[in-house]
């Protein structure tokens, strides 16, 4: 492994802090390193691999597309993209779809679409939520109000108005004062620490959007494609987005993202207003079609059932180790566990969070932490109960070891 670490240092810009694991292959919920060690993957490539690794139906669908063609450009019609667009509308709301390659690109598309609406309507500006994450390109970064991410990179010359989740009651004053065109938010903040918007606050936002003609844009990049037990997270609540941003899980492991624009706001993009060379990608949209076929209502019910059992098991661990586990929050298979002693620094030069993460790796389980001390669980949706029990058992053993020390 050390050989690959050194080789990477010589050729790749250091934009990521990687875990000390070199992946060789993946199957189902498992990953295998270059030494053959098996890992239970509870991170699923940042919520991308919703059907796990090398799902046989995805592999077969991909091979069929590979036998046809890989790229044709946007000058020709792509059957896969048309069919996938139809199915996404069936699973969300009446509207039109734009396809691109990633969540950041999808956010850019949403910002540009809002701008085009604003030109005709004579309004500008987007309200965003503090500690949100919408992407790292400059437009998306202007909407991303998170320390350490937005930094001092230049913002685009378009107004973004920041509001804290704790200031939702003040949103009406902001709407009146700034008269923004839209509001952009995540139902559940992923990188922001798995914070779930309460239903009453979502209803308040929707009511105010209707009252002041503000366009409601929901970022489902991480929460969509079955992650919460519904196809899109907003469907857990009685709200109706005007524009929806999606990515990550939609491509079955391949790069794919996009936006869905409600019929009411159709007609603001014309040919040449926006585009991307590889979107819609024929292979990614083929994989997307197969992903949607697998994630049916029965599949979603199973996700919800398993996630409820996982949260129940985590609550039992919290009762057993109250000095180590704080709040447990999330929805479906998007769960955050607050670790209470993350600032301790007496574990061989590592703090508690670093130590427990490396202990998980040693035990053959891959997890992620966000916001410093939030254990973020984003397992493949195909995870089985025996694998959930394996994680809970290992987690409990690690907590017991730290209690004893």
Number of C-beta neighbours around residue 243 at 10 A:
22
Whole-number mean pLDDT of the chain?
94
The CATH number of the domain where 283 resides is what? 3.40.640.10
The residue segments making up the domain with residue 2 are 1-41
**H or E element: which one contains 82?**
helix 79-90
- The last residue of a domain, from among 262, 294, 326: 294
Indicate whether 383 belongs to any domain.
no
Summarised one tens digit per residue, pLDDT across range 258-279 is 999 999 999 999 999 999 999 8
Are 288 and 251 part of one and the same domain?
yes
Say what the pLDDT of residue 349 is.
Answer: 63
Q: 174 and 105 share a domain?
A: yes
At which of 250, 265, 294 does a domain end?
Answer: 294
The answer to whether position 78 is within a domain reads yes
Q: Are residues 64 and 164 in the same domain?
A: yes
The Cβ of residue 282 has, within 10 Å, a number of other Cβ atoms equal to 19
252 and 313 together in one domain: no
User: Which of 294, 326, 342 lies at the terminal end of a domain, its last residue?
Assistant: 294
Considering the domain boundaries, does residue 47 fall inside one? no
Residue 129 lies in a domain: yes
User: pLDDT band at 1, cuts 50/70/90?
Assistant: low
pLDDT for 343 beyond 60: no
How far, in Å, CA of 365 to CA of 30, rounded?
9
* Residues 66 and 36 reside in one and the same domain: no
| pTM across the whole model | 0.96
CB atoms inside a 10 Å sphere around CB 54: 14
Instruction: Judge whether 51 lies within some domain.
Output: no
pLDDT of residue 366: 97
Bridge partners for 129 per DSSP:
163
- For every residue of 356-382, DSSP letters joined together read HHHHHHHTTEE-EEETTTEEEE---TT
> pLDDT class for 359, splitting at 50, 70, 90?
very high
List, in order, residues 6 or more apart from 80 with CB less than 8 Å away.
65, 280, 282, 285, 286, 288, 289
Structural tokens at position 68: 């046809």
If asked whether residues 316 and 367 sit together in one domain, one would say yes
- Whether residue 397 lies inside any domain: the answer is yes
Give the 3-state secondary structure of residue 302.
helix
Q: Are residues 214 and 325 in the same domain?
A: no
Is 5 inside a domain boundary? yes
pLDDT digits (tens, 9 = 90+) for 205-220: 999 999 999 999 999 9
User: Does 257 share its domain with 124?
Assistant: yes
Region for 127 from its dihedrals, namely left if φ exceeds 0, alpha if ψ lies in -120 to 50, beta otherwise:
beta
Residue length of the chain:
405
Alpha carbons 25 and 137: distance in angstroms, whole number = 30
> Do 281 and 361 sit in the same domain of this protein?
no
Model confidence over 186-242: pLDDT tens digits?
999 999 999 999 999 999 999 999 999 999 999 999 999 999 999 999 999 999 999
Structure-model confidence comparison of residues 5 and 394, the more confident one? 394
Structural domain count of the chain: 3
Q: Is residue 46 part of a domain?
A: no
75 with 196, same domain? Answer: yes
Question: Which element (helix H / strand E) includes 244?
Answer: strand 243-246
Instruction: Give residue 149's pLDDT.
Output: 84
One domain for residues 201 and 237: yes
Indicate if the pLDDT at residue 354 is higher than 90: no
If asked whether residues 65 and 29 sit together in one domain, one would say: no
DSSP for residue 182: E
Q: Give the CATH number, domain containing residue 367.
A: 3.90.1150.10
Name the one residue in this structure whose structure tokens are 């606050």. 201
């Amino acid at each position: 492994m050390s050989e690959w670490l050194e080789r990477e240092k010589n050729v790749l810009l250091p934009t990521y802090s990687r875990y000390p694991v070199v992946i060789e292959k993946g199957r189902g919920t498992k990953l295998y390193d270059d030494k053959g060690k098996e890992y239970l993957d509870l991170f699923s490539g940042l919520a991308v691999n919703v059907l796990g690794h090398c799902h046989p139906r995805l592999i077969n669908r991909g091979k069929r597309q590979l036998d046809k063609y890989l790229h044709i450009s946007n000058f020709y019609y792509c059957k896969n993209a048309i069919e996938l667009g139809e199915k996404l509308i069936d699973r969300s709301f009446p509207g039109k779809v734009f396809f691109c390659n990633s969540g950041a690109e999808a956010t850019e598309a949403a910002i540009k679409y809002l701008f085009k609406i604003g030109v005709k309507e004579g309004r500008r500006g987007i309200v965003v939520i503090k500690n949100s994450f919408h992407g790292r390109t400059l437009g998306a970064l202007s909407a991303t109000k998170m320390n350490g991410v937005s930094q001092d990179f230049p913002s685009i010359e378009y107004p973004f108005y920041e509001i804290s989740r704790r200031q939702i009651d003040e949103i009406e004053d902001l709407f009146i004062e700034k008269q923004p065109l839209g509001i952009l938010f995540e139902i559940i903040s992923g990188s922001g620490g798995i914070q779930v918007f309460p239903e009453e606050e979502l209803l308040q936002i929707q009511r105010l959007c209707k009252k002041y003609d503000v366009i409601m844009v929901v970022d489902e990049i991480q929460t969509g494609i079955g992650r919460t037990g519904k196809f899109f997270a907003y469907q857990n609540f009685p709200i109706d987005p005007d524009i929806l941003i999606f990515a990550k899980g939609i491509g079955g492991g391949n790069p794919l993202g996009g936006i869905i624009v409600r019929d009411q706001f159709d007609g603001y993009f014309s040919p040449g207003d926006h585009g991307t060379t590889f979107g819609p990608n024929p292979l990614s949209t083929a994989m997307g079609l197969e992903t949607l076929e697998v994630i049916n209502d029965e599949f979603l019910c199973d996700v919800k059932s398993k996630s409820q059992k996982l949260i129940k098991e985590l609550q039992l661990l919290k009762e057993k180790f109250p000095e180590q586990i704080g709040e447990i929050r999330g929805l479906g298979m998007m769960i955050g566990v607050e670790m209470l002693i993350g600032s301790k620094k007496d574990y061989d030069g590592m703090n508690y969070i670093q130590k427990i993460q490396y202990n998980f790796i040693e035990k053959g389980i891959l997890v992620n932490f966000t916001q410093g001390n939030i254990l973020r669980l984003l397992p493949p949706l195909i995870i089985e109960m025996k694998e959930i029990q394996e994680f809970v058992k290992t987690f409990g053993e690690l907590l017991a070891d730290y209690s004893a020390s």
